[in-house]
Structure 1
């Protein structure tokens, strides 16, 4: 059952637990205004015991450098808690942002939450981060 954790005029963030993954769906721009709210929402989920995340960016039409900084910040927090992170996005502007920054090579990227949650999380999901993951797109 999907639960809303942020709902304002600029972004909606909700989550659901699927196959051991906490799927955090972001719907709206990820920028200077919304990135701090998204980061705090993930930190709250960590505090509630969630450890393995899929950050679903499939409904994000725009992401700026603050959004990328938020992704790195939550990755560090999740890693400190022994968790995992996978990212989903569809072809479009978000792909370009991750490619230009070089971050596409340091994350497990999937094209949908369904694809990202097919396998249950492993306990060492971010052990090698920020190096390239051993499992590539769709694997």
Structure 2
């Protein structure tokens, strides 16, 4: 399940995947990010606090969202990673591209 929170400002979208982010839900994540960008919300934060597992499809969806956000003149950040999700990022060296933030607030501030 993917939730979209637009309460953080007119150009901000917080996307919250819950459970497992696998090929089953990767397309849903892409669609929610695309919807947010189409609405002019170019600052996207993916809050992974309730995502206990992510596979390569989920990671691909996040990278696709990052590319789309940057093409729209914005950015995509990730926050509140669970241990397994952090391990996936580290094993793929994508923690250098998608610098993890401790919370949504930190991601929005750029800390």
**In structure 1, how many angstroms separate the alpha carbons of the residues matched to 2:31 and 2:82?**
27
Provide TM-score, normalisation by structure 2.
0.89
When residues 35 and 103 of structure 1 are mapped into structure 2, their CA distance, relative to the original with a 3 A threshold, is same
Match of 1:58 in 2: 49
Say which SS state the counterpart of residue 104 (structure 1) adopts: coil
Deviations 1:68-110 (A, max 9, x none): 1101111111111000111013341111010001100112310
Which structure: greater helix fraction?
2
Query: For 2:76, which of 85, 88, 101 is the aligned residue?
Result: 85
Unaligned runs of 5+ in 2: none
Provide TM-score, normalisation by structure 1.
0.72
Tell me if 1:71 matches 2:62: yes
Match of 1:118 in 2: 109
Deviation beyond 4 Å, 4+ runs, structure 1: none
Match of 1:14 in 2: 4
Paired residue total: 110
Larger radius of gyration: 1
Greater shift after overlay, 40-49 or 11-20?
11-20
Unaligned runs of 5+ in 1: 1-10, 120-138
Query: For 1:27, which of 18, 33, 36 is the aligned residue?
Result: 18
**In structure 1, how many angstroms separate the alpha carbons of the residues matched to 2:91 and 2:60?**
14
